[in-house]
Amino acid sequence: MASSDLLFNRQRTLHDILGGGLVADLILWRRKNLTVGILLVTLAAWVMFERSGYTLLSLVSNVLLLLIVILFLWAKSAAVLNRPAPPLPKLHLSEETVNEVAAFIRTRVNDLLSASQDVALGKDSRLFLKIAAYLCLISIVGGLTDFLTLAYTSLFIVLTVPALYERYEDCIDRNILKGYHRLCQLIIGEFMIVVWGMKV
């Protein structure tokens, strides 16, 4: 298939477009065991949350509470029984790491504020329309589903659609391009009828 027969006249393979590393291998099912494992674990977690009515925040909170209680009791019992305290790594953030993270966040927030100011002052209509469309889409999707279902569905789509596309790439590209050309002919034909009153 020539590059002009591919969608968007691309020259690279789908694996290269996705980065060519472990993530691309996972998405394209080149490491089947790992991909199936991720799908099964997330499916089990999703089913557990849906059936139990538990939320992610309450689960994380309860797990952290359990961890803190276990460590506290271990440390107290170790002191009473003359045993060593629980082995914990020293939790410390270096000033350099904090400064790098702060600089990264500062630049992103400044970019966001600059774009927000442009939209609020009416300087960037295209960005305003994009933001409005995305917020409407998020609102509609958020009203139809909860976060965990959306996250699982998104993961499922990310792990299946690219692999199916790679497998049936020639057929999909050919049919999409054929449909695109038919749509262009239809639009041009309608344009000719409306503007000049002639059929193509």
Three-class DSSP category at 150: helix
pLDDT digits (tens, 9 = 90+) for 93-152: 889 999 999 999 999 999 999 988 888 888 888 888 888 898 888 888 878 888 888 888
Domain boundaries, the chain: 17-51, 55-81, 123-199
Q: How many CA atoms lie within 13 A of 150 on its CB side?
A: 11
pTM for the model stands at 0.57
Do the beta carbons of residue 63 and residue 55 sit within 8 Å? Answer: no
pLDDT digits (tens, 9 = 90+) for 51-84: 887 777 888 898 999 999 998 998 889 888 888 8
Provide the pLDDT for residue 38. 93
- Report the chain's terminal Cα–Cα distance, integer Å: 30
Q: How confident is the model at residue 157 (pLDDT cuts 50, 70, 90)?
A: very high
52-59's contacts with Cβ under 8 Å and 24+ in sequence apart are: 56/147, 56/148
